[in-house]
Every structure is written in C-alpha cells, then in structure tokens.
Amino acid sequence: MAPSNQEHIAQLLPADHRWLTVELLEPGMVLARPVVAVANRVLSFKLGEGSELTPSMIGQLYARGIECVAVAIPPPDEVEMEAWRAQCAAYAQRLDIIFSDGQGGIDPSCRPLYDLLLTQGPQR
C-alpha cells in the first residue's frame, strides 16, 4: 500500500544539503561532504566536511575539474518550515487532481508516475 500524502509531505522536508555545480558556488558556503581529487593515483586536493569556501578554494575546484559539491543548508526556521509544508500539501493536492480517475482514486495506469512525482515533491 502506498503511503498517504501526509506521510509523503513529512518525508519531503528540506534536506540538510544540496548539490551545486562549481559555477554556482559562492564564498562563505559550507561543504556538507568532503571533496577529494586524485591525479595519477596521488591525492592532489582535499577539503573536509564543514570547510567554508573561499574564492581560492572555488578556483581550485574548478581548476581540478570537480563538477559539483554538496553544500550545507542551514536548518529552516519555523516560518520557512510552515511555508514548505504548505507548498508540499498544495503540490500533493494538485497531483491528486491531475491523476484522478474521476471516482476519487488515482488512475491505475498513471499510478507509477503519480507515485514518483509525489516522492520527488515540489521544486525547492
């Protein structure tokens, strides 16, 4: 049995990090995961989790061909969390309307797509 929309909404709370391409990085952002570069089987560059990015570090990431990194997202305050919950609820309600079979359920032929979209949640 598929989880209810409310269970999906609870699972879609904002993550503690997001992946960004090097071009989108800005000084002051904090790494959520370590970054390691290896050249000819030799460690050539390493930044630890929690490192605050500087312009020089961003330049080194770019120069070493690193395409993306995980950046920490500060925990949302209560106002942001309420707005996120409302956005998730509206998203789930809209999916219900789009995928409705006209009898209060989801059209079985569309169920896999519906479940996937519900799991992914609204864009952040």
Q: What residues does each domain of the chain span?
A: 5-13+76-120, 17-72
Contacts of 105 (CB under 8 A, 6+ apart): none
In CATH, what is the architecture of 17-72? Alpha-Beta Complex (3.90)
What's the gap between Cα 66 and its chain centre?
A: 19
Low-confidence ranges of the chain (pLDDT < 50): 1, 9, 13
Tokens of 74: 């500060």
What local confidence, expressed as pLDDT, does residue 61 receive? 93
pLDDT at 11: 54
Q: Is 35 exposed, middle or buried (0-12, 13-18, 19+ CB in 10 A)?
A: buried
d(CA 109, CA 85) in angstroms, rounded, equals 28
Q: What is the pTM of this model?
A: 0.53
What was the pLDDT predicted at 49? 92
In angstroms, what is the C-alpha Rg of the chain?
20
pLDDT for 47 equals: 93
* pLDDT value of position 1: 47
Whole-number pLDDT of residue 124 = 62
